[in-house]
Structure 1
């Protein structure tokens, strides 16, 4: 992940962490630096689950608090002083070991934090506070991966790099018929540009609209044994609204197997389908991170940090696109906008 990562940041760690996982974070405390925290959690933030490691530099106190939370907060560790300076770039390494987590700041050993709870409970990285984050990476023997799912990297169209969790796999599609949302459609209202754990089906407005440079991130997990799920970019909130992009990931639906069908819909009529793909990026039960980038002439879609397809605009002006919809056999952990 690259520069301008939004804070607060919450990223799902696919497969969790293991001995040898190295979480690498580069950033810069703000000039008005009071405190920030970097957390390895069981949930998407420190209020929604247990926290295996709470790493909290407190400039006004001159030390870094390390702690955990399991039901309640534990005993604080504060030895080591303050290795961070307002406005100065840092690189932080959190190396997962069998006994605990070894923490380095700017390639110098800072402290060790002995495991107080099972490291297998760690599923999210959560960052908040007075800090600018430019880089996040997971590496080492325990880095999250799903061998055999994604193909070797091939250079593709470039994407702005923004907040996005580690990689996983996606699925394929076909135009949804009328009544997919039905009377129980859920409209999720956006406050800070992030939606956590929405109920599917989802139908939510795009803050500020859809225009060149806009990015939508969707994190989720296809149901084990599921046949398909869909992501739509819609022109309105009604069930019958036009769809600028209907992205239908099919694992096993009709005659389609592991294919993503892309099309559009105007006045209730679907257009021609596009099915060409170099690979199929989804896997039932495996988390994925999907990114939809608006370009002047097309929508670029990447899955798990890898370019997947381009879909040329069929509906103009593109500013008509103002809602994102998710439906089908999938659970969604987060939707965010940039």
Structure 2
């Protein structure tokens, strides 16, 4: 489940073709969330982030997102500038199905758009036109749209974390401890407090463009013990979890419904500790649970991050 924390405005049941102004433009950190349904007779539809709404000459399109349903289907992304299309970027993974509903989330980042469909990462598209010029959303073709949400200052939080976050927020804003900002790896930092049920660790970062793997360890400062070892192996799409106790690794856990990471993608990973297990979510989607093997939670006070990732922010509360 994705919880969206921040001001938002909603457009409900728009008539297609839809062309509407994006109030205040777009800035990094915002989301555009579109819920809709693909009709049974759909051949294609498109979502365009435009620089105005002119028809003649046609307004520039900074980001053209165009699912096409002929043959096995594909998604074509492109940019229109001075009435000329650039080079197509084609994704052959097709998450849309005729007759089925969908959720598109377009995350606005400083250098690219990041798109997920039905809570699964789909593609990245580097900016070819500056964000400042985008002021219009257009949706065209054979598609039914239920809602369009513009969400500012979005933070991804699974439901398991939401309650503890608001409790801590209401107690004191100082409960948030900013541990790192644009810091390299390997990174080692102290948690805000020793771990206990109800604690949360939140990590924001970007996977590098040619990754093999990275690791996040929750560990003790007075021994080599690692209570939780999260090791997404991006190249092989395997998400390994384990513990290192008494100088040896335990049995690996690997099962996951969908591998949540891709090269170059931005992520917000949340680790929530309860009395019996850790719960992990990536970009607002609950990903896995890991039962405690190291029982002395109060000794866990260090977070360590290594591998093919650029860190943007690490917090605990």
Structure 2 counterpart of 1:303, from 282, 287, 296: 282
**1:117-166 Cα distance to aligned partner (Å, 9 max, x none):** xx99xxxxxxxxxxxxxxxxxx99855542358449xxxx8412249xxx
Is the 1:226–1:284 contact (alpha carbons within 8 Å) kept by the matching residues of 2? yes
Q: CA RMSD in A?
A: 3.7
Question: Greater helix share, 1 or 2?
Answer: 2
1:212 aligns with 2:190: no
CA–CA separation in structure 2 for the residues paired with 1:229 and 1:141 = 25
Give 3-state SS (helix, strand or coil) of 1:160's partner: helix
Aligned residues, how many? Answer: 186
1:273 aligns with 2:252: yes
How far 1:284 sits from its partner (Å)?
Answer: 0.7
CA–CA separation in structure 1 for the residues paired with 2:253 and 2:194 = 25
CA–CA separation in structure 2 for the residues paired with 1:301 and 1:20 = 37
**1:43-84 Cα distance to aligned partner (Å, 9 max, x none):** xxxxxxxxxxxxxxxxxxxxxxxxxxxxxxxxxxxxxxxxxx
Q: 1:232 to 1:142 in 2, by over 3 A?
A: closer
Is the 2:190–2:302 contact (alpha carbons within 8 Å) kept by the matching residues of 1? yes
Which residue of structure 2 aligns with residue 243 of structure 1? 226
Is the 1:262–1:273 contact (alpha carbons within 8 Å) kept by the matching residues of 2? yes
How far 1:267 sits from its partner (Å)?
Answer: 2.5
Give 3-state SS (helix, strand or coil) of 1:146's partner: strand
Q: 1:261 to 1:97 in 2, by over 3 A?
A: same
Task: Please give the TM-score of this superposition, normalised by the length of structure 2.
Answer: 0.50
Structure-to-structure mapping, 1:160-309, within 5 angstroms: 160-161=161-162, 162=165, 192-236=177-221, 241-252=224-235, 257-309=236-288
How far 1:21 sits from its partner (Å)?
Answer: 5.6
Is the 1:291–1:303 contact (alpha carbons within 8 Å) kept by the matching residues of 2? yes
CA–CA separation in structure 2 for the residues paired with 1:261 and 1:312 = 14
Task: Please give the TM-score of this superposition, normalised by the length of structure 1.
Answer: 0.48
**1:78-97 Cα distance to aligned partner (Å, 9 max, x none):** xxxxxxxxxxxxxxxxxx98
Which residue of structure 1 aligns with residue 116 of structure 2? 147
Is the 1:22–1:143 contact (alpha carbons within 8 Å) kept by the matching residues of 2? no
Is the 1:22–1:140 contact (alpha carbons within 8 Å) kept by the matching residues of 2? no
Give 3-state SS (helix, strand or coil) of 1:326's partner: strand
Structure-to-structure mapping, 1:48-67, within 5 angstroms: none
CA–CA separation in structure 2 for the residues paired with 1:229 and 1:211 = 25
Is the 1:204–1:324 contact (alpha carbons within 8 Å) kept by the matching residues of 2? yes
CA–CA separation in structure 2 for the residues paired with 1:141 and 1:2 = 13
How far 1:271 sits from its partner (Å)?
Answer: 0.3
Which residue of structure 1 aligns with residue 17 of structure 2? none
CA–CA separation in structure 1 for the residues paired with 2:28 and 2:116 = 24
Is the 1:233–1:322 contact (alpha carbons within 8 Å) kept by the matching residues of 2? yes
CA–CA separation in structure 2 for the residues paired with 1:4 and 1:251 = 29
How far 1:191 sits from its partner (Å)?
Answer: 9.1
Which residue of structure 2 aligns with residue 325 of structure 1? 304
How far 1:192 sits from its partner (Å)?
Answer: 3.8
